[in-house]
Structure 1
Amino acid sequence: MTAAVGQRPLVLAGFPIAGWAFALRTWIALVLALYAAFRLELQSPATAALTVAVLAFPTRGQGMEKAAYRVAASIIGLTAAVGIIGIFHQTGGLLIAVLALWIGACVFVSCLLDGFRSYAAVLCIISVALVAIEPLDMPQSVFQLAHERGAAIVVGIIASTLVNDILFAPDHHPRIHQRLADLQHRVAAFGRAALQGISPGAGESAALLRDITGLRPDITGLALESSLGPRRSTAARTAMVDLVFTLAAARMLAVLTAGQGATRDPRAPAAGAIAWMTAELRRRQGDVAASLAALTASKLPQRGWRSPLYRSTRIAAANALRAIVYFSLSAAALALAGWDATSVSLAFVGILIGLSFMAPDPAGASKLALVAAPIGGLLAGILEFVVLDGVSDFPLLAIGLLPFVLVPTLLMTLPNLALASLGRSNLVFAIAIFSPANQQSYSPQTFLFSCLFLCLASLLLAICQKLLPPLEPARQRRILLGEAARDLDNRQASHRPHREEQMFRDAGRVSRIAATTGKDTAGQSDVEAALRMFDEAAILRLAGGALDMLPADTPHDQRRASAAAVAAANAGGMIAAADLLASRMPSTGAAALAAAGLALARLREPDTR
């Protein structure tokens, strides 16, 4: 009991000390960025503060990776803003159409990526919105705005990096190692159950695949964490891919042992297949352990895997089309209203469109913006007109910002995703509305207009999503299942190299289907269907690997018959070919082919469905 209590993290006011340290680092970096922007007399110091806010992450690797993508995306976005305004600034409606197409293209790319790569595509929207859309009535100022915002972004990145290094922000790889180790234990438990003929449930398997593949964005950030980062990233990525293959092997073993029980007869026809599959499962578990050992030692694994991301171009295209429609409808509504300075609200609409489609649930993200926008405005108003109330001294500004940075940042450390998202949104919105400057205006009219435009943008996006709702989860699942069926029908999949990597890609698709399921019965049926296709594809890839393991002196006709059975996904043909190969000369390839054929036959039996 004493040891368990001693391992608990120190807690202050309900938050761990590590969370308080993260919040203080964020405040120091934000104040440093503002001070540098003021001293350099930049015209957009608020951009430097916002850069620190969006780069706020508890670990060094995450912040470094996001900073790198922010620099690249800012260059692309600012260049696009200057080019679009330079070419189309006198074309009226055509300019709005081009901006809508740009937003749609960025949303399309964002939906094909994950993690900070997806964020970089959305940042291209944000850069164009702030530089090209917000000053839509002043096209001559676009180049100057691009230069000023680019300089402020660099200042914010430098401030965030310096503070994280000087104040020893924790590395991310220990957390990744712990999560991989926990997943290793869960997969091992699945393997032990499979040896007893107990098949893991569809919900459990899908959740485990989702947890494994969900590590992919975090693992990519390890490469920028330190000089040893690329080795750690490769080792962690290899362990992640091996975990997927190990889970697939456990599910195949469960199919083979189903109904056999712990007292199965070793002389039964399936005994050899079960023995080979058991050895294969243990070999794969050894590969995971070796990759984790390489991660601990910061060494390259013996063989490194890539982790290809599953991309659905149909879903990405549907989201891009909706983004174009949302922006166009909002622009038309603001034009009909005839209000002054509505380009600011249109810029916010573009930003919120990009951020909403980056989230798993676009409708939920827009609802969050509806709640966070007035809260952010309230916090900015309290800061500007109650806490500061006309002061011009920088130390007082820094002290005044302290609670308005600490509280949202502490919320970001909570495991509750809704509260964490609300904390990040409020931190960004409050700074954006307050917009600290060298000579703070403290103008109630400017403040009210900023709040109004942000809230109006959130409302416009919510209305557009009511008129043309985002792609429904059931529709997304149908698209993903159709793509899985087409991939399965492509029998050449079993002959592709790097089958482990392709299996990880399939696991990513299962994870996406599980993410849109909820608790409805139809969703659970879709998950089961996705897992059946995942299992069948894994078995065919195992069979393709068995062909590579056949001895070099295997007769050509037997090799050709085996390959034909695998290409046709003919379970009986695979078993017959394996028996013929084993009768001539027992080999590992024959045993693997027999295991694959028998697993495929049993998977297709009605009772295994």
Structure 2
Amino acid sequence: MPVNATSAAAPSPLLFAGFPASSWAFALRVWLAMLLALYVSFWLELESPSSSALTVAVLALPTRGQGMEKAGYRLLATAIGVAASIAIAGMFSQTDSLLLAVLGIWVGLCVYVAGMLDGNRAYAAALCCITVALIDIQQIDTPLQVVPTGVARGAAIGIGVLAVALVNEVLAAPNYHPVLASRIEALHRRVTDLAQDAEHASAPAAASLLHDIAAVRPEIASLATESSIGTARAEAARSALVDLVSALSLDRMLAVLPAPSPNTARLVAMSRSWLQTEISRKNAQVRSSLDALREGTRPYRAWRAPLYRSRRIAAETAARAAISFTLIAVFFVLTGWPSTELCLSLVAVIIGLSSTSPAPRTFTLVTMMAMPIACVLAGILKYVVFNGVSEFQLLAIGLAPVVIGFALLISLPSPMLSSLGRLVLVFTLAVLAPTNPQSYDPEVFLVTSLFACLSSVLVFTAQTLLPPLSGDRRVRLLLREAGSELSHLDSGRARDLAPEEAAFRDAARIDQILTANGSVLNGPITAKAMRCFDQAEALRRCRAELDRLTQGPLAHVAQDAREALAQRNGAAILAAAEALREAAARSNLSANSAIAVLIPASSAFAPLLSPNQGERP
């Protein structure tokens, strides 16, 4: 059925005040979960009941699997952070200066680990930094309170997680796998359309598609927590993504086949036929994995979808984060201001969370906008709406407009508005700090608001004095690492990955190159990145096919082909393919697959016609 006919038949979503019914249902779940978390925390008389409400705000995600996956990492990171807080306070509590230096090192270490991970795993690494900051820094003058504070925070977070899980279950929060299956199916259509439309099958179009495919990877992990068959669905989704990248790389091999000449016509025809067959097989495997994803069964093969991360970029980002935190801590020591523990702990929170963003300074700017809004809203709630009341029913009614309103913002597809809504909701709850009974000391509130706003300003100032890695710097490092890996691809130090899995890892690097500049496609950079991608994929496929010929009468010809590949010489590779065809014909053996991948490899390593020509057709 045509796409336009399908779209016409699809019912339009029910809207209320400009938001679909699903967004209102999500906002209602967030509000109810927050009330449940606060009620249980008040009933148990926890030391920090606001942490349970903050947990609900952090876990405010539209589907069940996404919320539960993040909840699991939040619990794990909290446990690690509490243990680290106890250890750090126990060893360095007697020397404030040394304690601050150790905390700076811990911030840098957590930021480094976050830089080596993605999705909620990166968030968990950042949360280890945040937990230590909220416990050790705020108890810097009372180290004996570190253990009770850590236990109280862990208990409050556990209650928040249970509240979210219960409300999502009772109110039947939607599953994520239908949404993910639709996204992967749309990506599959784009891959097939790009293969059929040679005019748009350029390096920028292919790079953009690889970026979108790799961007789905962090979301797959949430399927495992969605249901008892979630692990099978996660494997099916990963297999579909890996096969999508493989199909795209084969499409590009087909597109760069040289024009047939009297000497190469047979080779080109053989390669074209094999590539077309292989592309059809990969497309069938993608459809099979999509069916397995929807049905909750195991895929035909559980591919790994490895993540590429630059250790150099992670290390430089971590060093900047540690230095920024240390400089701000030194600033507070020099000024001698009292009650700066809250501000310094929020500094660590902002640094940790910004490390999970591709643009740390942009995140800090959004935080600078969100913090004053949150302080004003917290003041209105405390001194206008509540105004001295302590009844839980009035607390529930007063929180409803704020929580539901910002939950609606979180549900928007705009990353900026969604991020702003989540940050304002989290900071509003942090400044309001609901307790039982509620505190209404205006002096405490003003000091808290002042230091909360000051924390984001100080982080932005530190990032101005010591800017985060620029997009151009990231791109240069990623391209340099891609070239280095390409030059050592034949040295035997390659990863133990199948060609399809290695191609997905390279696609993840393409994703980071594009993300470094805000997904803005730069022609020469994109062309260079895609050329490295094409060459690496051609080398891996050639090596895999030639390895099958190591035994038998074609072994010496296969070795000659490997040497031609090592030279990165297109003409020598083409000659090796012809020699392999002749040897196979004499021996009455088949080497069609090896020959088929050698031909596009000869084009991938052909010299460029001009300095600006870097993209493939």
Structure 1 length-normalised TM: 0.95
Deviation string 1:345-396 (CA, Å, 9 cap, x unpaired) is 1111111111112111011011111110000111111111111111111111
Alignment of 1:419-458 (within 5 A): 419-458=417-456
With over 3 angstroms needed to count, the CA separation of the structure-2 counterparts of 1:603 and 1:240, relative to structure 1, is farther
Correspondence for 2:604 among 597, 600, 603: 600
Deviation string 1:275-326 (CA, Å, 9 cap, x unpaired) is 2222222222122111112112211111111111101011111111111111
With over 3 angstroms needed to count, the CA separation of the structure-2 counterparts of 1:191 and 1:3, relative to structure 1, is closer
Q: Which residue of 1 aligns with 2:62?
A: 58
Alignment of 1:321-470 (within 5 A): 321-470=319-468
The whole-number CA distance in structure 2 between the counterparts of 1:27 and 1:390 is 22
Q: Which residue of 2 aligns with 1:525?
A: 524
The whole-number CA distance in structure 1 between the counterparts of 2:264 and 2:405 is 63
**Partner AA of 2:546 in structure 1:** L
The whole-number CA distance in structure 1 between the counterparts of 2:605 and 2:150 is 62
**Partner AA of 1:430 in structure 2:** T
Q: Which residue of 2 aligns with 1:13?
A: 17
Deviation string 1:10-64 (CA, Å, 9 cap, x unpaired) is 1111111101100000000000000000111111100111111101100011111
The whole-number CA distance in structure 2 between the counterparts of 1:519 and 1:307 is 22
Q: CA deviation at 1:343?
A: 1.2
Q: Which residue of 2 aligns with 1:582?
A: 581
Q: Which residue of 1 aligns with 2:282?
A: 284
With over 3 angstroms needed to count, the CA separation of the structure-2 counterparts of 1:6 and 1:180, relative to structure 1, is closer
Q: Which residue of 2 aligns with 1:89?
A: 93
The whole-number CA distance in structure 1 between the counterparts of 2:160 and 2:131 is 15
The whole-number CA distance in structure 2 between the counterparts of 1:543 and 1:2 is 42
User: Which runs of 5 or more structure 2 residues have no equivalent in the other structure?
Assistant: 585-589
Confirm or deny: 8 A CA contact 1:517 1:524 kept in the other structure.
no
Confirm or deny: 8 A CA contact 1:542 1:592 kept in the other structure.
no
Equivalenced residue count is 602
Deviation string 1:245-284 (CA, Å, 9 cap, x unpaired) is 1111111111116x68xxx999565222222222222222
Q: CA deviation at 1:580?
A: 2.3
The whole-number CA distance in structure 2 between the counterparts of 1:595 and 1:279 is 16
Alignment of 1:123-142 (within 5 A): 123-142=127-146
Deviation string 1:486-527 (CA, Å, 9 cap, x unpaired) is 000013279754111111111111111111235888x43212
The whole-number CA distance in structure 2 between the counterparts of 1:151 and 1:433 is 20
Alignment of 1:175-194 (within 5 A): 175-194=179-198
**Partner AA of 1:141 in structure 2:** Q
**Partner AA of 1:582 in structure 2:** R
The whole-number CA distance in structure 2 between the counterparts of 1:148 and 1:566 is 61
With over 3 angstroms needed to count, the CA separation of the structure-2 counterparts of 1:255 and 1:325, relative to structure 1, is same
With over 3 angstroms needed to count, the CA separation of the structure-2 counterparts of 1:203 and 1:387, relative to structure 1, is same
Confirm or deny: 8 A CA contact 1:549 1:588 kept in the other structure.
no
With over 3 angstroms needed to count, the CA separation of the structure-2 counterparts of 1:570 and 1:546, relative to structure 1, is farther
With over 3 angstroms needed to count, the CA separation of the structure-2 counterparts of 1:603 and 1:205, relative to structure 1, is farther
Confirm or deny: 8 A CA contact 2:549 2:555 kept in the other structure.
no
Confirm or deny: 8 A CA contact 2:342 2:451 kept in the other structure.
yes
Q: CA deviation at 1:413?
A: 1.1
The whole-number CA distance in structure 1 between the counterparts of 2:82 and 2:598 is 59
- Structure 2 residue matching 1:439: 3-state secondary structure: coil
Indicate yes or no: 2:28 matched with 1:29.
no
With over 3 angstroms needed to count, the CA separation of the structure-2 counterparts of 1:520 and 1:290, relative to structure 1, is closer
The whole-number CA distance in structure 2 between the counterparts of 1:493 and 1:39 is 64
Q: Which residue of 2 aligns with 1:220?
A: 221
Q: Which residue of 2 aligns with 1:116?
A: 120
Indicate yes or no: 2:513 matched with 1:509.
no
Q: Which residue of 2 aligns with 1:103?
A: 107
Q: Which residue of 2 aligns with 1:556?
A: 555
The whole-number CA distance in structure 2 between the counterparts of 1:520 and 1:47 is 38
With over 3 angstroms needed to count, the CA separation of the structure-2 counterparts of 1:352 and 1:48, relative to structure 1, is same
- Structure 2 residue matching 1:437: 3-state secondary structure: coil
Q: CA deviation at 1:444?
A: 1.2
Query: Which has the larger displacement, 269-278 or 28-37?
Result: 269-278
- Structure 1 residue matching 2:407: 3-state secondary structure: helix
User: Which runs of 5 or more structure 1 residues have no equivalent in the other structure?
Assistant: none
Q: CA deviation at 1:574?
A: 2.8
The whole-number CA distance in structure 1 between the counterparts of 2:399 and 2:263 is 72
The whole-number CA distance in structure 2 between the counterparts of 1:551 and 1:342 is 68
**Partner AA of 1:92 in structure 2:** D
**Partner AA of 1:530 in structure 2:** A
Indicate yes or no: 2:537 matched with 1:538.
yes
With over 3 angstroms needed to count, the CA separation of the structure-2 counterparts of 1:124 and 1:551, relative to structure 1, is closer
Q: Which residue of 2 aligns with 1:303?
A: 301
Query: Which has the larger displacement, 2-11 or 398-407?
Result: 2-11
Deviation string 1:176-211 (CA, Å, 9 cap, x unpaired) is 0000000000000111124xxx46222221211111
Q: CA deviation at 1:135?
A: 2.0
**Partner AA of 2:515 in structure 1:** A
Q: Which residue of 2 aligns with 1:208?
A: 209
The whole-number CA distance in structure 2 between the counterparts of 1:580 and 1:464 is 62
Confirm or deny: 8 A CA contact 1:473 1:517 kept in the other structure.
yes
How big is the alpha-carbon RMSD for the aligned residues of Structure 1 and Structure 2?
A: 2.2
With over 3 angstroms needed to count, the CA separation of the structure-2 counterparts of 1:324 and 1:373, relative to structure 1, is same
